[in-house]
Structure 1
Amino acid sequence: MGNHRLLSLAAGVVQEFPPERAVYAAHAAGFNAVGIWCDSTTWSAASTRAVRTALHDTGLVALDLEVLWMHPGERVDQHDAMLDYALELDARNVLCVSSEPQALHTMRRFEHLCRRAEQGDLRVALEFLSLTEIRTLQQALAVVEGVGHPAGAVLVDALHLTRCGGVADDVRAMNPQWLTYLQLCDASREPLDSSFEGLLEDALHLRRLPGDGDLPLRDLLDTVDAELPLSLEVRSRALNARFAEDIDGRAAAVYRATQRFLQTTP
């Protein structure tokens, strides 16, 4: 592991807690970065102040703010407020997914997001997953490369890469300028249920700590720069049950497992 690599507690790991509490828990666990969960229907100026204060108190980097989800029929500027929140927090990335079925609309809207993000040092990271219209790495790259804006990026999640049939060599073949961070977790090699509902359950509740599953994580890490930031996206019903009210314990468990895994990675 590079000395300067950012390790971030992903927002979804502690989604039920206020985002400022996630910042303090990530810091107490040993992370040097954190993801911020933003519910745009309830986020307020007070939310921004609380998170900014927590980031200032801890010195943590806001690696990403999520989730900006594009749906069909929305205005091009539908999600401008979320980008503004990210800019106010000096976040590195906004995590974006798309359920927009029209490819041209997706590209037009993604370009708008990138142009707004260029007001600061912010990237719009388009994540691919089989539950959305951008299902594969190749589809995500088609959008990001098609738009060609330097604020654009592709987000690779170790779980979704495997579930869509991708391999580490697909990531190796990418232009590294489009890869701004990586989501890491472990899981079973195959989903228990390949239906939409089964894949949703797999993504939201059945992830495992790094090293506790069968995903080819070492192959994936070997393809990227040793200092590429990692977001620990360990959304796990079992972990949540073990640390139901203990956000600090949950964050610490993820950090300890991550350190063990990285220290045994050649």
Structure 2
Amino acid sequence: MKDQFSLAHLTALACPPPTLTYIAARAGFDFVSIRPICMGLKNEPDYNLASNKKMLRQTKTALRETGIQVLDIELAKIVDGMDPKQYEPAFEVGAELGARHVLCSVWTDDLVFATDRFIQLCELAKTYQLSIELEFVPVASIATLAQAVTMLTAAAQDNAGLMIDSHHFHRSKENVNDLKKIPANWFHMFHLCDASKEIPASREQMIQIMREERLYIGEGGIPIKEILREIPKIPYSLEIPHLQRTKELGFEEYARRCLQSAKEYISLNLDDVNIY
């Protein structure tokens, strides 16, 4: 199976989904990963396709004209008091666009509540033929690989998966060998990026790098080769936001260089791997 790549929305978040799709096609991607669920962060654009019917039609047109597919939508956050049904309009849109997965992360310390809501999200997603991909984030409540594995094991849902982001894996100081213990069928997609080897001491600096200063593949110090050798061959979603570079290069050229760095790195480092 050939390597497949998705352009993650955070890499070019200023671009609405139709624009992102055309950029992904021209840059050589196979998929797009879009964010129709706004996280409510300062200055973040809102691409609520469930309510913006014009943009939804434009996105469908872009997908049809380019042949690009939607890999996943994001982000179904589990926070205190949340109701999984609030994400159903986005799930419906995701299914309408042909998405396969929904990213999920946990931001409440009540893990009994979080596990219950995760199960409900999976049940809801199943009606739309979507999987829920649990992502551990070093600044969230589910912050480590072990915590994510514990929740997935407790939830025991057949449409749940583990979504690893190479940035988060490194920042959480994970051991690559622990990936050998993960069931292969938990892996459906992977967030690929690079970053400096040095781990920021402050939460604020980590968030800034996470959202604004990730690096081309092979440019930083994350042990990407070692990580990818321990997981099946799955689509790589390139989540590599870098505000200064996109400002200098423009979104399309920057996306093209992100993809080029990933392909070159994998060709040089992983062609000899017997991926299962």
TM-score over 0.5 (shorter chain)? yes
Partner Cα distance (2:183, 2:236) in 1:
18
Aligned match of 2:274:
none
- Structure 1 letter corresponding to 2:12: V
Q: CA deviation at 1:20?
A: 1.0
Segments of structure 2 that go 5 or more residues without pairing to the other structure are: 39-45, 271-276
The 5 Å alignment of 1:102-181 reads: 102-181=110-189
Partner Cα distance (2:223, 2:166) in 1:
8
The 5 Å alignment of 1:1-266 reads: 2-3=1-2, 5-40=3-38, 42-43=47-48, 44-191=52-199, 193-225=200-232, 227-243=233-249, 246-266=250-270
- Structure 2 letter corresponding to 1:233: E
- DSSP 3-state at the match of 1:78: helix
Q: CA deviation at 1:21?
A: 0.6
Whether the aligned pair in 1 keeps the contact of 2:189 and 2:237 (CA below 8 Å) is yes
Q: 1:22 to 1:76 in 2, by over 3 A?
A: closer
Q: CA deviation at 1:263?
A: 1.5
Q: CA deviation at 1:78?
A: 2.4
Q: CA deviation at 1:10?
A: 1.0
The percentage of counterpart residues that share the same residue type is: 26
- DSSP 3-state at the match of 1:197: helix
Q: CA deviation at 1:42?
A: 5.0
Tell me the alpha carbon deviations over residues 20-61 of structure 1, each in whole angstroms, 9 at most, x when there is no partner: 111110110111111112244651222322222211111112
Q: 53-62 vs 74-83, which deviates more?
A: 74-83
Whether the aligned pair in 1 keeps the contact of 2:142 and 2:148 (CA below 8 Å) is yes
Q: 1:39 to 1:116 in 2, by over 3 A?
A: closer
- DSSP 3-state at the match of 1:211: coil
Tell me the alpha carbon deviations over residues 75-112 of structure 1, each in whole angstroms, 9 at most, x when there is no partner: 24222222222112111111111212211111111111
Q: CA deviation at 1:19?
A: 1.0
Tell me the alpha carbon deviations over residues 220-242 of structure 1, each in whole angstroms, 9 at most, x when there is no partner: 111112x3111111111332232
- DSSP 3-state at the match of 1:183: strand
Q: 231-240 vs 13-22, which deviates more?
A: 231-240
- DSSP 3-state at the match of 1:96: strand
Whether the aligned pair in 1 keeps the contact of 2:16 and 2:47 (CA below 8 Å) is no
**Aligned residues between the structures:** 260
| TM-score scaled by length of structure 1 | 0.92
Q: 1:105 to 1:238 in 2, by over 3 A?
A: same
Partner Cα distance (2:96, 2:116) in 1:
24
Whether the aligned pair in 2 keeps the contact of 1:128 and 1:135 (CA below 8 Å) is yes
Whether the aligned pair in 2 keeps the contact of 1:68 and 1:82 (CA below 8 Å) is no
Tell me the alpha carbon deviations over residues 162-216 of structure 1, each in whole angstroms, 9 at most, x when there is no partner: 111112222222011111111111111122x321111111211221000111110
| TM-score scaled by length of structure 2 | 0.89
Runs (4+) of structure 1 moved beyond 3 Å?
A: 39-42
Q: 1:228 to 1:103 in 2, by over 3 A?
A: same
Q: 1:100 to 1:79 in 2, by over 3 A?
A: farther
Segments of structure 1 that go 5 or more residues without pairing to the other structure are: none
- DSSP 3-state at the match of 1:214: coil
- DSSP 3-state at the match of 1:94: strand
Whether the aligned pair in 2 keeps the contact of 1:126 and 1:153 (CA below 8 Å) is yes
- DSSP 3-state at the match of 1:264: helix
Partner Cα distance (2:175, 2:21) in 1:
32
Partner Cα distance (1:15, 1:71) in 2:
23
Partner Cα distance (2:209, 2:82) in 1:
28
Whether the aligned pair in 2 keeps the contact of 1:92 and 1:122 (CA below 8 Å) is yes
